[in-house]
Amino acid sequence: MATIGKRMAVDKETIRCIDECKEMYLAPDGKEHAVIGLKAVNSVARSRGIVPSQIEIAALEQGIIPRRYLRNMGTIGWEGQAKLLRSTVAVVGAGGLGGTIVELLARHGIGRIIVIDGDRFTEDNLNRQLLSTEENLSEYKAITAAKRVREINSSVSVTSYTERLTGENARELINGAQVVVDGLDNMPSRFAVEEACRDSGIPFVHGTIAGFSGQLMTIFPQDMGLCSIYGEPHNVPEWGMEVVMGNPSATPTLIAAWQVQEVIKIITGIGKPLRNRLLMIDTIEGIAEEIELSN
Amino acid sequence: MEADNIDGALEKMEERFGSQLREQVQAHGIQLDGKIRDYSQVLLNGVNLRNLKQTELKDGDVLHIFPPGAGG
């Protein structure tokens, strides 16, 4: 049996319980896989006093696929899934971009998600912010995000911060994250997060939207980053064209989904992140253009 | 398009595409009129206009002009 990353601290009895709960699953391609269902994971976790994510990692190490991640296996694989379950990702902003990002990270099985947003839902969020509903208007976005994560995936641990991110607190709030994702709505905060990520040695997945267009780029600490797109921070206005064009319903999810894909690539090592390459998508003209950035 | 520098390229674009270009570009948030609005993103061969040391063009240069979004 291949060891996936570092050994987990689960004992032999826990492994035996996991093995006892496994079932066989016949995949559409005719291959048979050992799987473990959600109820069994939670039951073993409770009986052994271990959090569900550790049970899932231990199962993967035994070649047993948690059933909820079956459709991840063909691309992410056992090892990739275990890496995701061990990872921590911070999402800064839980609105249009951030709401979808949190949702998809939870479904992917990121082990811990940190959600930072000082805002509460308002009625004008309802057109596009996936986590907003008529019922939760005026609630903190970060708290709602945490509730949603727990509904989707009880293996994911989530930490919510309902304070506004600033240059002063950014480093503290993203502490422990392997990747930070941009769900912000203004440029000064983006530059503040980028600086904190650079100082902390954490990759930052940048994304913005305006109207029917959006753009994204992954920034590693040694990369040129935001100033290669926008110029120096002191020259960059706080807002962009979204103040004129607004944010229609589909654009945030389009960009957020690709940002999540970047996160998955960074953590699993699969594929090539969009580093020093700006991906610009214009859905009205039907254009997606990659711009190689230089200094 | 032939132009000596970025300003020249913008003027040529206006000459070639006239009001239609102006309307389209302005609808996307970029004001031409010989000037680029502060928050427009203009990249020459992937380098932001604000980071350029010179704006002279040479054969094969690629100029990207697109409206910045800061929304989330």
Domain assignment of residue B48, yes or no: yes
Domain assignment of residue A126, yes or no: yes
Last residue of a domain, one of A84, A114, A142: A84
A128/A274 same-domain check:
yes
B28 touches chain A (CB under 8 A): yes
A38/A149 same-domain check:
no
User: Is the pLDDT reported for residue A239 higher than 70?
Assistant: yes
Domain assignment of residue A77, yes or no: yes
Which one, of A11, A44, A161, lies nearest residue A92 by Cα?
Answer: A161
What's the CATH number where A157 sits?
A: 3.40.50.720
Domain assignment of residue A46, yes or no: yes
A196/A225 same-domain check:
yes
- Tell me the residue range of the domain where B49 lies: 6-64
User: Is the pLDDT reported for residue B33 higher than 60?
Assistant: no
For A65-81, the pLDDT digits (tens) are 999 999 999 999 999 99
pLDDT, residue B47, reads 87
CA dihedral A83, A88, A91, A94 (to 10 degrees): 90
Q: How far apart are the first and last CA of chain B?
A: 35
- 3-state SS, residue A193: helix
CA dist list (Å): A73 to A28, A70, A198, A259, B29: 13, 6, 32, 20, 43
Instruction: Determine the Cα–Cα distance for residues A3 and A15; give it in Å rounded to an integer.
Output: 14
Residue A7 tokens, joined: 């050994």
pLDDT, residue A176, reads 97
Enumerate the residues of chain A whose CB falls inside 8 A of the CB of residue B50: 230-232, 235
A70/A112 same-domain check:
no
Domain assignment of residue B70, yes or no: no
- 3-state SS, residue A206: strand
Residue B26's pLDDT band (cuts 50, 70, 90) = low
Domain assignment of residue A131, yes or no: yes
Q: Nearest chain A Cα to B64, which residue?
A: A291
Domain assignment of residue A6, yes or no: no
Domain assignment of residue B21, yes or no: yes
Handedness of CA A64, A67, A68, A74 (dihedral sign): positive
Strand-pair partners of A278? A291
A126/A223 same-domain check:
yes
For A280-290, the pLDDT digits (tens) are 999 998 999 99
Q: Which strand (E) or helix (H) includes residue B44?
A: strand B41-44
* Residue A169 contacts residue A202 (beta carbons within 8 Å): no
Domain assignment of residue B69, yes or no: no
* Residue B55 contacts residue B44 (beta carbons within 8 Å): yes
A190 burial type by CB count under 10 A (0-12 exposed, 13-18 middle, 19+ buried): buried
Enumerate the residues of chain A whose CB falls inside 8 A of the CB of residue B37: none
* Residue B68 contacts residue B41 (beta carbons within 8 Å): yes
Q: Which residues contact A94 (CB under 8 A, 6 or more apart)?
A: A102, A115, A116, A117, A119, A131, A141, A142, A144, A145, A183
For A1-44, the pLDDT digits (tens) are 344 444 457 999 999 999 999 999 999 999 999 999 999 999 99
Q: Nearest chain A Cα to B47, which residue?
A: A294
Domain assignment of residue A5, yes or no: no
Q: What is the ipTM of this complex?
A: 0.78
Last residue of a domain, one of A84, A113, A135: A84
* Residue A111 contacts residue A51 (beta carbons within 8 Å): no
Contact B71 A232 (CB under 8 A): no
Residue A240 tokens, joined: 């962009």
A181/A109 same-domain check:
yes
Instruction: Determine the Cα–Cα distance for residues A213 and A287; give it in Å rounded to an integer.
Output: 9
Domain assignment of residue A51, yes or no: yes
Instruction: Determine the Cα–Cα distance for residues A287 and A257; give it in Å rounded to an integer.
Output: 17
Instruction: Determine the Cα–Cα distance for residues B68 and A215; give it in Å rounded to an integer.
Output: 9
Name which of A82-86, A225-229, A265-269 the model is least confident about.
Answer: A225-229
Last residue of a domain, one of A38, A62, A84: A84
Domain assignment of residue B72, yes or no: no
- Tell me the residue range of the domain where A195 lies: 87-292
A73/A93 same-domain check:
no
Give the number of other CB atoms < 10 A from CB of residue B54.
8
Which one, of A234, A230, A235, lies nearest residue A219 by Cα?
Answer: A230
A210 touches chain B (CB under 8 A): yes
* Residue A92 contacts residue A84 (beta carbons within 8 Å): no
Domain assignment of residue B52, yes or no: yes
Domain assignment of residue B71, yes or no: no
A56 touches chain B (CB under 8 A): no
A287/A172 same-domain check:
yes
pLDDT, residue A7, reads 46
Sheet with B47-48, strands from edge to edge, namely B47-48, B41-44, B63-66
A121/A251 same-domain check:
yes
**Chain A window 79-98: which residues touch B at a Cβ cutoff of 8 Å?**
93, 95-98
Tally C-beta pairs within 8 A across A and B.
102
Contact B39 A232 (CB under 8 A): no
Domain count, chain B: 1
